[in-house]
């Protein structure tokens, strides 16, 4: 069964510093991978997705992620953190075991940004 593991329940960075949120996946078939962001008291918003093709995927708000099959990873990065990036981030893998899409989420990483 497909699954994702997010290392670090909390990541703290200073404003302007590099953001790196880690995600490793387990999948017996080529995976479809997603990163979502959740701001307080809001739903999840898609940041970016990897399906096929280019392994470096660019998303909204300056985020990007690189699919590395050899490392089974899909880490999320942003060169320079803003205060507004403080939120909960979820990595997810799409499974279609039953023929229909089901998203399996990681446990989330809270990004804290300090001035």
Partner 1 sequence: DTAVSQTPKYLVTQMGNDKSIKCEQNLGHDTMYWYKQDSKKFLKIMFSYNNKELIINETVPNRFSPKSPDKAHLNLHINSLELGDSAVYFCASSQGGWSGNQPQHFGDGTRLSIL
DSSP state of 72: T
C-beta closer to partner 1: residue 25 or 36? 36
Q: Which of these segments, 12-20, 62-70, 77-85, 90-98, binds partner 1 (CB under 8 A)?
A: 90-98
Q: Which of 49, 66, 72, 77 binds partner 1 (CB under 8 A)?
A: 49
- Residue 41, C-beta contacts closer than 8 angstroms, at least 6 positions apart: none
With binding defined as CB under 8 A, does residue 32 bind partner 1? Answer: yes
What is the spatial distance between Cα 40 and Cα 99, in angstroms, rounded to a whole number?
A: 33
With binding defined as CB under 8 A, does residue 98 bind partner 1? Answer: yes
Q: Which of 5, 24, 77, 94 binds partner 1 (CB under 8 A)?
A: 94
b/e code 65-93 from CB counts within 10 Å (16+ = b): bebeeeeebbbbebeebeeebbbbbbbbb
Per CB under 8 A, residues contacting partner 1 are 32, 34, 36, 38, 41-46, 49, 51-52, 88, 90, 94-96, 98-105, 107-108
């Amino acid at each position: 069964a497909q699954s994702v593991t997010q290392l670090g329940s909390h990541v703290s960075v200073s404003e302007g510093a590099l953001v790196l949120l880690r995600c490793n996946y387990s999948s017996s078939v080529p995976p479809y991978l997603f990163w979502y962001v959740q701001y307080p008291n809001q739903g999840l918003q898609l940041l970016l997705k990897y399906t096929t093709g280019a392994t470096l995927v660019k998303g909204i708000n300056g985020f990007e992620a690189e699919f590395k099959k050899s490392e089974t990873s899909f880490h999320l990065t942003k060169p320079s953190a803003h205060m507004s990036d403080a939120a909960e981030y979820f990595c997810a893998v799409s499974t279609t075991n039953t023929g229909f899409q089901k998203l399996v989420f990681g446990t989330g990483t809270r990004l804290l940004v300090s001035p």
